[in-house]
């Protein structure tokens, strides 16, 4: 059974979706504020973790994830991105090398764009080799805010 929750945050409203196994999707909603939904207790842990992340600068803990889909390559990229510590960044090229696919920087960027659970798999911590931010599913303004919040900018 799929469940969703709407949660307000300093970067705007977030919609979290889960299945029986865990978190499957995080959407950045364009509206600044929504009426938080009444949701299952299963989302309370994620909501508290997000609040601590935004207000206290704490790392998001590892949660169980449901079926996120993705290709084998994308899942390798996402697992590697999960290793990037709070306050640090890696380049698309760094990730490509780490998964044994040097030269696959663009494919890493595509995998980041396909990441269904940003923040929990912190693709905002992956930047371009030329010093640019690269892209982000939530938009570059949110990526900048997140990196500043984490002390990486």
Cβ contact 115:123 at 8 Å: yes
Q: Which of 123, 142, 147, 149 is catalytic?
A: 123
How far apart are the C-alpha atoms of 119 and 122, rounded to whole Å?
5
Kindly state the average pLDDT of the residues 30-59: 76
Please state the pTM of the whole predicted model.
0.89
- Residue 36 clears pLDDT 60, i.e. is over it: no
pLDDT of 57 reads 86
Q: What is the domain partition of the chain in residue ranges? A: 3-56, 72-149
User: Given the structure tokens 């500043």, which residue do they identify?
Assistant: 148
Q: How far is CA 32 from the centre of its chain?
A: 18
Domain 72-149 CATH (choose: 3.40.50.300, 3.90.550.10, 1.10.10.10, 1.20.1290.10): 1.10.10.10
Active site residue 112: no
Q: In whole angstroms, what is the distance from residue 29 CA to residue 121 CA?
A: 18
101-130 pLDDT tens trace: 999 999 999 999 999 999 999 999 999 999
């Amino acid at each position: 059974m799929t469940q969703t929750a709407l949660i307000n945050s300093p970067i705007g409203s977030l919609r979290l979706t889960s299945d029986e196994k865990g978190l499957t999707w995080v959407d950045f909603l364009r509206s600044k504020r929504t009426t938080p939904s009444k949701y299952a207790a299963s989302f309370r842990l994620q909501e508290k973790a997000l609040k601590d992340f935004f207000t206290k600068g704490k790392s998001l803990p590892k949660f169980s994830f449901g079926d996120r889909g993705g290709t084998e390559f994308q899942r390798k990229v996402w697992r590697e991105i999960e290793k990037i510590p709070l306050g640090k960044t890696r380049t698309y090229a760094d990730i490509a090398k780490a998964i044994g696919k040097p030269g696959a920087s663009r494919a890493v960027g595509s995998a980041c764009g396909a990441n269904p659970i940003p923040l929990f798999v912190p693709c905002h911590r992956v930047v371009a080799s030329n010093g640019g931010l690269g892209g982000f599913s939530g938009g570059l303004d949110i990526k900048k805010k997140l990196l500043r919040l984490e002390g990486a900018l």
